[in-house]
Amino acid sequence: MDDACHAPPPEDLLKGIAQFNRGEFFEQHETLEDLWRVELRDVRRLYQGILQVGVGMYHIQRNNHHGAMYMLTRGSSYLRPFAPACQSVDVSRLLTDASHVLEEVRRLGKDNLARFDWSLAPRVHVVIPPD
């Protein structure tokens, strides 16, 4: 983790988070990918991790078991170094939520993914640090 974690979240990160939280997983991918591509510091992996968890959710929507498993796992691996929080994102909570989704996807298996309980869908929480 670098000093960028102590900076406020960029506008495009907040936009991508709002899209993620509305279930607009394709759109959040586009927004966060643009942010990830231009960022040169290590914090780019935070953006990539959120993006990939969202893509995992998109794969659940598309009934793609392998894609969901892969992206949820890979996204979480990018997020771990930024826990507990970075740029006001509650990374620990997102990791916990993504882990629960991954367990459920694994439990359902490829033939039952359409039965995914969308109340389990993770949300990205932004925490405002005290002054």
How does pLDDT run across 35-60, given as a tens digit for each residue? 999 999 999 999 999 999 999 999 99
Q: What is the pLDDT of residue 21?
A: 97
What is the residue type of 83? A
Q: State the CATH class of domain 3-120.
A: mainly alpha
pTM attached to this predicted model: 0.94
pLDDT (tens digit, 9 = 90+) per residue, 56-100? 999 999 999 999 999 999 999 999 999 999 999 999 999 999 999
Q: What is the pLDDT of residue 128?
A: 73
Does residue 1 have a pLDDT over 80?
no
**In 10 A of CB 118, how many CB atoms?**
9
Mean of per-residue pLDDT scores for the chain: 95
Q: What is the pLDDT of residue 84?
A: 95
Does residue 129 have a pLDDT over 80?
no
Q: Angle at the Cα of 18 (from 14 to 19), degrees rounded to 5? A: 120
